[in-house]
Amino acid sequence: MDNHAALAAFAESLKARGSVQTEERYLRACESLILAADATPLAQLTQHDIQRALAKLHGKGWSPRTLAVTLSAWRAWFRYLYKTSPEVNPAVFSGIKAPKAPKRLPNALSETEAVRLVTAPEQNDSSASTFVTARDQAMFEVLYGCGIRIGELVGVDVGDIDLANAEMRVFGKGRKERIVPLGAPACTALRAWLGERNAQVPVTADDAGAALFLGVRGERVSAQVVRRALKERALQQGISSNVYPHRLRHSFASHVLQSSGDLRAVQELMGHASIASTQVYTHLDFQHLAKVYDQAHPRARKKPGSNR
């Protein structure tokens, strides 16, 4: 099997994971290895070849975070190929590490900004149809109200929502299923959207698995459409900072943790396999507490002319 055929087989296996974003990132990463290998069969690549390929990408200015994802994709590809082609050796990655990336705290909106963002504007864009307006409002309420990933949002089907019990089923990384609660604003927005949606594309008992959120042509809405709609809403609501779907997920986690202090509950709601992924939000919580301390405690207040 040549390198391109091996990549095509890997692409088919990635589709079963249920994340279009992961599939695209991994395929781009594996294509970079094919280019670096310069027609050398994968089975003949050595540890030195892998290190040299990674160094080339680093020299092109790829960030440590991107290189880490790239290396992870290469490892996953070789593990997959090893199942059917034992001559492909996953051990060539032993001891190889991507450059260490500086830790970045999640970029959350303030509670005031988040609520303003997802609140329907008093004056809607007159050029937008009621179909698009209702859909976008429901998507924004679900993104912030449930803290789900954009891939999970666009993957939701009509049969996954239960408005009677105010809950929704989503499929996360690795098609791992979880149930998330729906707040009252999200339920209200979803009911309004379903009225618009079903007027255009009726759902019968036989196709309850049809996509919940649709594009204007009746197809499942894309992640790109969601991102663009959210940026337009941010501008409309006077929020000048960069707003994107995953930032609402960060905001959800930060705000729930600040109010509840329940790290395990936030882990379950976020669908994190490891609590280490959730613990990063405790840093945001501490920042919030430190800010309150600086503003409220008499021994913390800055004095005129002081450096503190």
Please identify every residue annotated as catalytic. 149, 173, 246, 249, 272, 281
Helices 245-260 and 263-270 sit at what angle, rounded to 10 degrees? 150
Residues 6+ apart with CB under 8 A from 72: 29
- Are the C-beta atoms of residues 142 and 200 closer than 8 Å to each other? no
Q: What is the radius of gyration, based on Cα positions, of the chain? A: 23
CA 33/CA 28 separation, integer angstroms? 9
CB 88 within 8 A of CB 78: yes
Residue 211, φ and ψ in degrees, nearest 5? -60, 135
**CB-based contacts of 136: which residues, under 8 Å, 6+ apart?**
229, 233
Phi, psi of 167 (to 5 degrees): -150, 165
Q: Which residue has the tokens 């800010």?
A: 291
The whole-angstrom distance between residue 278's C-alpha and the CA centroid of its chain comes to 14
Beta-bridge partner residues of 179: 169
| Cβ atoms of residues 74 and 89 within 8 Å | no
Order of strands, sheet of 167-171, starting from the edge strand that comes earlier in the sequence? 161-162, 167-171, 177-181
Q: How far apart are CA 236 and CA 140, in angstroms?
A: 14
Do 41 and 5 meet the contact criterion of CB atoms below 8 Å apart?
no
Question: H or E element: which one contains 129?
Answer: none
CA–CA separation, 140 vs 143, rounded Å?
5
